[in-house]
Amino acid sequence: MSAPLKIAIAGLGTVGAGTLKLLSTNAEVIAAKCGRPISVTAVSARERTKSRGVDVSAIRWFDDPAAMANEADADVIVELIGGAEGAARKTVDAALAKKRHVVTANKALLAHHGVALATTAEKSGLTLAYEAAVAGGIPIIKALREGLAGNTIQRVYGILNGTCNYILTTMRATGRDFVDVLKEAQSLGYAEADPSFDVDGVDAAHKLAILASVAFGTEVDFKGVHVEGIRRITALDITYAEQLGYRIKLIGLGARTNGGIAQRVYPCLIAPDSPLAAVEGVFNAVVTEGDFVGRSVLEGRGAGAGPTASAVVADLIDIASNRRVPTFGVPVAALKKLKTVPVAERVGAYYVRLVVLDRPGVFADIASAFRDASVSMESVLQRGRNANAQVNVVIITHDTQEASLVRALQKLEANAAVVEPPHMIRIERFPAP
């Protein structure tokens, strides 16, 4: 058997501890698959005495992860710190400067600096691997770069954030509202104390920017992702969606269009027979559509110690086995500049909910606003007159350009009979199995 692959791990949180445990528990299986053992020679974290459920007493300790990247006896630096800047960026930069391979689970780092880091790695003949950065234990990066490499990918979309999926699933199952379910998710450890990155769609947008690059052979362009979260989704919207034959999910969608690449993260209504509708709780799923393979669906746990560690170790096995592919599927020089299609150019159907005063002439005003913006209504529902003589009006539109619908809603918002800002949710049609 060949000499061990020596690795150093920066960050001993949930994923770091899980990686150590997996490497220890499955050491024989891993060595058999890559022809040599994987040996942890150094670790770094903020608190040395913290209990992590794994014994690190025999492993060289570094307080500074960047110093570890410079000084440790290691072939690979595993960065599990997180964040686009700070210690994570310094550690990866130091590792590449010292001609060490890098494995990371850091989606923010790659979304913001992926092309620059890939350029540095490529010039030195190094691997920059990141299966764990997108969808946890789902091997979607390997699927896109290798298994589907012969295809032109037309669309890649999915549920990319388990926190949001748990919240929306629980809201639908219990009828409770967003704030209440968010508190529960925090108490269960599914949401952070500051949940903004999750519930505002940023985490999913980081992952989508990476997926779009690998799927379409374009430069990573996080700034080109249109991002909306789930804070405005109410239990009422979920109820109406169910009555209309839909479910609400936070979806990340990348697609080739005639005008360029669309990159969008937003809550949307999807049909219950679409491949994502049955993905519940903290699970993730990613769907790819290729010109020859057709549609592929991968589903699994998108976070957690075991699934994410599984992805980290898969990358380490590739390095130990001398298997290499370009970071984003093609050499950096071949990555195309991404031309982003603005969301205002989206054409599709929409769900619109208005809260209006129940008085004569209101429906005529609504119809007039939609007519003047060239938006056609497919169906209209009126629900629930309250003590203030207010009713919810729910409209499903025919396919229309988003810019046109926005004009209609702006006109309605200025109408004194519309007592709340109009609420719009996009309808995405994904093919049934």
Structure confidence by residue, pLDDT tens digits, 131-183: 999 998 899 999 999 999 999 999 999 999 999 999 999 999 999 999 999 99
Whether 190 shows a pLDDT value over 80: the answer reads: yes
Write out the two tokens for 347: 């054409």
Whether 247 shows a pLDDT value over 90: the answer reads: yes
Q: How far is CA 268 from CA 61, 210, 352, in A?
A: 47, 21, 12
Query: Can you point out the beta strands (E) in 121-178?
Result: 128-129, 153-159
Roughly what angle, to the nearest 10 degrees, separates helices 202-216 and 107-123? Answer: 30
Q: What is the pLDDT averaged over residues 375-382?
A: 92
pLDDT band at 361; cut points 50, 70, 90? confident
β-pair partners for 296? 288
pTM over 0.85: yes
Q: How far is residue 365's CA from residue 420's CA, in Å, rounded to a whole number?
A: 15
Whether 410 shows a pLDDT value over 90: the answer reads: yes
**pLDDT > 70 fraction of the chain, expressed in percent and rounded:** 99
Write down the pLDDT at residue 303: 84
Residues annotated as part of the active site? 207
> What letter does residue 343 receive in the DSSP assignment?
G
Q: How far is residue 394's CA from residue 350's CA, in Å, rounded to a whole number?
A: 10
Write down the pLDDT at residue 401: 97
Query: Can you point out the beta strands (E) in 144-293?
Result: 153-159, 226-227, 247-257, 260-270, 283-290
Task: Name the one residue in this structure whose structure tokens are 């409770």.
Answer: 176
422 close to 413: Cβ distance less than 8 angstroms: yes
Write out the two tokens for 344: 């205002």
pLDDT band at 306; cut points 50, 70, 90? very high
Structural domains of the chain sorted by starting position, each given as residue range(s) with its CATH number in brackets: 5-133 (3.40.50.720), 140-301 (3.30.360.10), 344-427 (3.30.70.260)
Whether 226 shows a pLDDT value over 90: the answer reads: yes
Q: How far is CA 361 from CA 24, 49, 358, 415, 420, in A?
A: 72, 70, 9, 12, 18
Q: What angle do CA 250, 254, 260 make, to 5 degrees?
A: 140
CB atoms within 10 A of CB 425: 21
71 close to 44: Cβ distance less than 8 angstroms: no
Whether 383 shows a pLDDT value over 80: the answer reads: no
Higher local confidence (pLDDT), 353 or 303? 353
Which residues, at least 6 apart from 246, have a Cβ–Cβ distance to it below 8 Å?
A: 269, 270, 271, 272, 351, 427
**pLDDT > 90 fraction of the chain, expressed in percent and rounded:** 87
Write out the two tokens for 161: 């954030």
Write down the pLDDT at residue 371: 95
